[in-house]
Amino acid sequence: MSGALPAPLALRLARGLRTGTAAAATVMAYLAGWNYIACALFITADVVGRQFGYSSASTIEITGYMLATGIAWGLAHALARRAHIRVDVWVNRLPLKLRAVLHLLALLLLGGFAAFCAWSALALVDESLLFDAHDNSALRVPLVVPQGIWTFGILAFCVMILMLALECALSLLLGRPEELDRLLGARTLEDETAEALEAVEMARGGAAR
Amino acid sequence: MIAVVLLLVLLGVAVFAAATGGQAVPVVEILALTGAFLVFFGAGVYIAAVLGLLGILIGLTFSDRPWWAFAGQTLWGPSSNFVLVAVPLFLLMGEILLRAGLSDRLYRALNVWLNRLPGGLLHTNIASCAVFSAISGSSVATAATMGSVALPYFNNSAYSQRMVLGSLAAGGALGNLIPPGITFIIYGLITETSVGALYIAALLPSILVTGLFILVILAHGLTHPLPRPERLPLAVKLRALLDLVPTLLLMALVLGSIYAGFATPTEAAALGVVGAAFFAAAEGRLTLRLLNASAEATARNTALLGLIIFGAYLLNYLLTAINVPQTLAGFIGGLPLPPWAIMACILALYLALGTFMEGFSMIITTVPVVFPIVTALGYDPIWFGVMVTMLVEIAQVSPPDGTVMYVLQGMRPRAGPITDVFVGVVPFLAAYLLAVVLMMIWPEIALWLPRVMG
Amino acid sequence: QVPASLPAGPKVTVVAVTQPLPTQPQYTRVDIPILREQVGQRSGGRIEVQLSTHAERNLSGTELVRLVRSGQADIAAATLTTLSGDVPILDGVDLAGLAPEIGVARRIAEAMLPVVNRDLERFGARLMVIYPFPAQVVFCRQPFASLSELRGRKVRTFGNSLVDFFTAWGAQPVSIGFPEVYSALERGVVDCAITGTGSGVAARWPEVTTHVSNLPVSWALAGYMVNVAWWNRLDPQVRSFIEAALREVNDKQWELGAAATRDGLDCAIGNAAACRIHTLAARPMTEVPATEADRAAVREILEKTVLPGFVRRCGARCGEVFNQVIAPIVGVRAGG
Ligand code: NA
Ligand code: NA
């Protein structure tokens, strides 16, 4: 069916899916980031509270779960922003066609690893359900809750990889390797600079106001 | 890189076992794996995926147990570990300080005091990085923060661009060595050593390294003299000290809370975040936009570290399950070499890995294998923790691959080739290596202070 | 008790993950000589036990039931309270204040073994042996004459029943990872901490604390589990050989538990003549003898706080099991 459609439409559809997923991933990453801010406040409250004889007695467990959530929920966004680390010193010197194929290969291998992680995470949740497992903190949190939230983040990462792979494969098939390179290629110096300057700008901008 | 090295090591052990033991060794399989992973690296596959897939393949090839049934637990353990919570918190603190412009005030204040030394502003680069390192636990955050502040001061100046970039990269490489530091936290987690003791042990070595950096700049300043800026009145200098106050207070909060018995190292990182936000608010810059941007950057950087942790822990689990670290430790311990020679080999291995590898992935993949050997040789775990941290820092600034150098290159206001950074960092790299040699000869540099204080 | 020989047959490789650290006497004085060496020699090399510790396998201890269940290890040992998140009834074997001396702890352990196995076997694991660590006692950086003086102090604890126990004394439970406890005591992040007498000495706590109580609060009871499917698949001769070896491990661990409890205290207080298992403390501590009032208070706290807390977390069925099996031994009933 899709083969009958004009080629750019299929690509546009894939692009729409990818940008949509990336937008959702960004929302998740902001939540992950704010979760760290909450984590800092929570630990601070516990340290201060301890001086006055009050402690949640679950800080270690809860903040551990917050870290797990933060890591998992940031994975997809980091991929969309091309932040995950690759050894790409050699790849970037290859001709565009070959480079594009290798980008896709790298993404598919990452997909394989991510799928394994997601499967393991689901199996872990399943096992915790079987055990009806709780942690040893005062709150006795059922482990399926934090582990389920964590697993959701890893699943979102898999979806992000899938959408990217779909668009990349289409670009390659349609003979547009430069678009693939833009999606997966190394972050250029301009990207890095723009990011650093944005942060410095904020520092300076604050002074002007 | 590490994957290839590990495979080669595995191959070596297997061949050795075959030569001595008599069990059939799957040499062909190992060679095929090595080949596959050379291709993976050449093809620019994600580090986490290479580590994880290598683990999976090792499991499928060498383990006769259903190891996959335990993989979820292997990933969940480090994900939810309280000790690692310090990592995003230090990153978050750095992001807030950077965006609030506090680092700029720190730089200007130090500059007033240091700019008449031979080498001038370059000293400020090192000093401000060192001071910032005493609040931040991350080298990349230190280099990014101080680099973005310092580089504009050198626009259209007569300073050697290479020395400017080199000194900032070297300063960034103090970020983890000067306590607090993420490397110590990870090392403490893997080896069950006290992070607090590691922090104390790192104090003298970090002073040593900073001192050597200052000597490098003095030597450069004396051989390449520049006109000295005018002497400033003492009143101006004293007033500049006021600008140091927020940073010093934050330092007192983070380190002081640990040593005063108010908080553990992880908790101190949380206090640091709240403190940084407080000073940002005092400057009138604590906006929703600032927090939002800091949150996003922290989430992104923690996720990329987290993914590597996934891969590394999976690989570690399978290597341990088939007894590689134990076999290796036994083999190396039985070599007819004195302990110091074996230690020198281990350190050389770290240096070699460091030229290609990113420091964080290096420590997390190698320490579990190397640590049993080190303790079996009779070396102090605390001393080795400081050594590993120094070598990881060297990895960050050793060409051709080093995050700190890339970050600085990305921030240069005036374009230029990355080789500028590479060349500029070399004298500082030599100084860092000298410090490693001194630590090897006199381990007391690290061990004296913990003993006196304990 | 390890049989003198085993008839020839196909080789059996057993993966065993025991004890938290490779330096612990439970590992060096029992596991290595019996499980690794004697089993290997007397079976004529037919059984090879690949032995390692939690630390070497990068495990925290809470996940050991899952390790055995998934077949990663054939035999695994871990403390019961750390496993109680997955199998809550295990907590009941070693409640804070339950066993004032080691003989009582052993009788409880033996009575509870078949009972907890009813729960564990649903998950494909079976406890073969329950054994003790040295008595868990309180180390403090300031003097105290009775546990009642812990009121208002920050005490590093682990596990729910200890949290309930110290809260009842008016102390403030703090949770810190074991490697950080030394510096936390040194700098006063916490005032006191509880651990085994020998473990405290091994972790150099006498350098940072001054007083140690000799009142056993609990025994950090631990157990060796086997994977049931693997166990049932074993050649019957091999199975009874290993079973006999585990029985010897059981006896040796209880002997060691009793000896190491006193030895840890002697090492801590600088009694060089009696300090044989652990290393002598450079800075001798003061031993705080348990008073009769303390013992009475411990019993009351068990009855009023610790036991109801356990039943609340574990469910009414656990209370019934407790009343059936443990109450006749200790004379304290749940919900009564
Ligand atoms: Na630092
Ligand atoms: Na490097």
Provide the pLDDT for residue B149.
Answer: 82
Query: In the prediction, which pLDDT does B1 show?
Result: 41
Query: Long-range CB contacts (< 8 A, 24+ apart) of B324-332?
Result: B324/B9, B324/B10, B324/B13, B324/B369, B325/B368, B325/B369, B325/B372, B325/C56, B326/B372, B326/C52, B326/C56, B327/B13, B327/B17, B328/B9, B328/B13, B328/B369, B328/B373, B329/B372, B329/B373, B329/B376, B331/B13, B331/B16, B332/B373
pLDDT at B454: 54
Is a pLDDT exceeding 80 seen at residue B326?
no
Across B39-66, average pLDDT = 82
Name beta bridge partners: C218: C136
Q: Classify C44 in phi/psi space as left (phi over 0), alpha (psi -120 to 50) or beta.
A: left
For chain B, the structural domain boundaries read 86-304+326-454
Question: CA C117, C118, C121: angle at the middle one, nearest 5?
Answer: 70
Predicted pLDDT at B186: 79
Give yes or no for residue B152 having a pLDDT over 70: yes
Q: What's the pLDDT band for A122 if we cut at 50, 70, 90? A: very high
Pick the residue with more confidence: B262 or B380?
A: B380
Q: Enter the tokens of residue A191.
A: 């990207």
Higher pLDDT: B4 or C313? It is: C313
Q: Touching check for A130 and chain C: CB below 8 Å?
A: yes
Which residues 6+ apart lie within 8 Å of A135 measured at CB?
A61, A141, A143, C85
C neighbour chains, 3+ CB pairs within 8 Å: A, B
* Most A CBs within 10 Å, among C69, C70, C81, C86, to test the A interface: C86
Do strands C211-213 and C136-140 pair parallel, antiparallel, or not at all (unpaired)? antiparallel
Give the confidence band of B185 by pLDDT, cuts at 50, 70, 90: confident
Task: Say whether A140 and C160 touch across the interface (CB within 8 A).
Answer: yes
A143·C85 Cβ contact <8 A = yes
Tell which wins on pLDDT, A196 or A38.
A38
Per-residue model confidence (pLDDT) at position B3 = 44
The answer to whether A116 contacts chain B (CB < 8 Å) is: yes
In B299-424, where do the E strands start and end? none
Distance CA C160, CA B190 (A): 26
Average pLDDT, chain C: 90
| Residue B208 contacts residue B442 (beta carbons within 8 Å) | no
Q: In this predicted model, which residue has the larger pLDDT, B8 or C131?
A: C131
Report which of residues B6 and C200 the model is more confident about.
Answer: C200
Q: Which residues of chain B have a CB within 8 Å of the CB of C207?
A: 454
Cβ contact (<8 Å) for B70 and C66?
A: yes
- How many Å lie between the centroid of ligand 1 and the Cα of residue B176? 4
Of the pLDDT bands very low, low, confident and very high (cuts 50, 70, 90), residue C241 is very high
Enumerate the residues of chain C whose CB falls inside 8 A of the CB of residue B263.
Answer: 189
Give residue-wise pLDDT tens across range B428-443. Answer: 999 999 999 999 899 8
Q: Which helix (DSSP H) or strand (DSSP E) does residue A184 occupy?
A: helix A177-184
Q: Chain C contact for B325, CB < 8 A?
A: yes
Asked if residue A27 has pLDDT above 60, the reply is: yes
Is the confidence at residue B2, as pLDDT, over 60? no
| Euclidean distance between CA atoms C160 and A135, whole angstroms | 10
Cα separation of B431 and B434, whole Å? 5
Is B359:B396 a contact under the CB 8 Å cutoff?
yes
**Which ligand is located closest to the Cα atom of residue B396?**
2
Q: What percent of chain C has pLDDT over 90?
A: 67
Shortest Cα distance, chain C CAs vs residue A40, angstroms: 17
pLDDT attached to residue B25: 46
Q: Which of B298, B294, B160 is nearest to B226 (CA)?
A: B160
Q: Which residue has the higher pLDDT, B155 or A95?
A: A95
Distance from the CA of B402 to the center of ligand 2, in angstroms?
4
Cβ B168 vs Cβ B107: under 8 Å: no
Q: Would you tell me how many other CB atoms lie within 10 Å of the CB of residue C110?
A: 12
Q: What is the mean pLDDT of residues A192-206?
A: 61
- State the smallest CA–CA distance between residue B209 and chain A in angstroms: 27
Question: Do A50 and C174 make contact, defined as CB atoms within 8 angstroms?
Answer: yes
pLDDT band at A4 (very low <50, low <70, confident <90, very high): very low
Tokens of B215: 């000597």
Radius of gyration from C-alpha coordinates of chain C: 20
Which of C81, C163, C176 is opposite residue A138, by nearest beta carbon? C163
Q: How far apart are CA B400 and CA B386, in angstroms?
A: 24
What percent of chain B is predicted at pLDDT more than 70? 84
CA distances from A27 to A31, A118, B277, C298 (A): 6, 20, 23, 52
Region class of B192: left (phi > 0), else alpha (psi between -120 and 50), else beta: left
Mean of pLDDT values over C186-205: 87
Instruction: Check residues A164 and A7 and name the one with the higher pLDDT.
Output: A164
Instruction: Provide the pLDDT for residue B122.
Output: 87
Assess contact for C301 and C95: CB atoms under 8 A: no
Nearest ligand, measured from the Cα of B272: 1
For the cut 80, the answer to whether the pLDDT of residue C55 exceeds it is no
| Calpha distance A180→A172 (Å, rounded) | 7
SS3 of residue B129 by DSSP: helix
pLDDT tens track for B75-134: 998 899 887 888 899 889 888 887 887 778 888 888 888 877 777 888 888 988 998 888
CB C302 within 8 A of CB C295: no
pLDDT in tens, A37-95: 999 999 999 888 877 777 777 888 899 999 999 999 999 999 998 888 776 666 777 88
B224 and B160 in contact (C-beta within 8 Å)?
yes
- pTM, to two decimals: 0.84
Give the pLDDT score at A206: 45
Which DSSP category does B194 fall into? Answer: -
Residue among B45, B410, B412 minimizing CB distance to A106: B45
Tell whether the model's pLDDT for residue B16 goes beyond 70. Answer: no
Position B48 scores a pLDDT of: 85
As to burial, measured by CB atoms within 10 angstroms (0-12 exposed, 13-18 middle, 19+ buried), residue B454 is middle
> Are C154 and A127 within 8 A, CB to CB?
no
Those chains having 3 or more beta-carbon pairs within 8 angstroms of chain A are B, C
Please determine, for residue A153, whether its predicted confidence score (pLDDT) is greater than 80.
yes
Which residue has better confidence, B210 or B26? B210
SS3 category, B264: coil
Q: Using an 8 Å CB-CB cutoff, list chain B residues near C20.
A: none
- Cα dihedral across residues C134, C137, C139, C142: positive or negative: negative
Confirm if C213 and C200 have CB atoms less than 8 A apart: no
pLDDT of B7 strictly over 60: no
Query: For chain A, what is the mean pLDDT?
Result: 85
Interacting residues of B177 by C-beta distance below 8 A, sequence separation 6+: B133, B202, B205, B206, B209, B386, B389, B390, B393
Centroid of ligand 2 to alpha carbon of B71 (angstroms): 31
Contact status of B360 with chain C (Cβ, < 8 Å) = no
For chain C, report the end-to-end CA distance as a whole number of angstroms.
Answer: 43
Of A111, A122, A120, A95, the closest CA to residue A161 belongs to A111
Among candidate residues B239, B259, B254, the one with its CA nearest the CA of residue B97: B254
In this prediction, residue C319 has a pLDDT band, given cuts at 50, 70 and 90, of very high
Contact C102, C254 (CB under 8 A): yes
pLDDT at A182 (0 to 100): 80
Cβ distance of B68 and A196 shorter than 8 Å? no
Q: How far apart, in whole angstroms, are the C-alpha atoms of residue A103 and residue C243?
A: 56
Residue C142 has pLDDT above 80, yes or no: yes
- pLDDT given at position B104: 80
**Residue A2: what pLDDT?**
41
Nearest-angstrom CA–CA distance, C172 and C153: 6
B432 Cα: distance to centroid of ligand 2 (angstroms): 13
Among chain B residues, the shortest Cα distance to A65 is held by B80
Q: Which residues of B touch A199 (CB under 8 A)?
A: 95, 98-99, 144, 148, 293, 297
B245 Cα distance to chain centroid: 27
Continuous H helices in B43-85: 47-62, 71-79
- How many Å separate Cα A131 from the centre of its chain? 30
The predicted structure's pLDDT at residue C254: 96
CB-CB contact of C226 with C218 (8 Å): no
CA distance C19 to chain B (A): 15
Per-residue three-class SS string for chain C: CCCCCCCCCCCEEEEEEECCCCCCHHHHHHHHHHHHHHHHHHCCCCEEEEEEECCCCCCCCCCHHHHHHCCCCCEEEEEHHHHCCCCHHHHHHHCCCCCCCHHHHHHHHHHHHHHHHHHHHHHCEEEEEEECCCCEEEEECCCCCCHHHHCCCEEECCCHHHHHHHHHCCCEEECCCHHHHHHHHHHCCCCEEEEEHHHHHHCCHHHCCCEEECCCCECCCEEEEEEHHHHHHCCHHHHHHHHHHHHHHHHHHHHHHHHHHHHHHHHHCCCHHHCCCCCCCCCCCEEECCCHHHHHHHHHHHHHHHHHHHHHHHCHHHHHHHHHHHHHHHCCCCCC
Sign of the dihedral through C-alpha C293, C294, C297, C302: negative
User: C87 in contact with A at a CB cutoff of 8 Å?
Assistant: yes
Residue given tokens 């005030």 in the structure block: B105
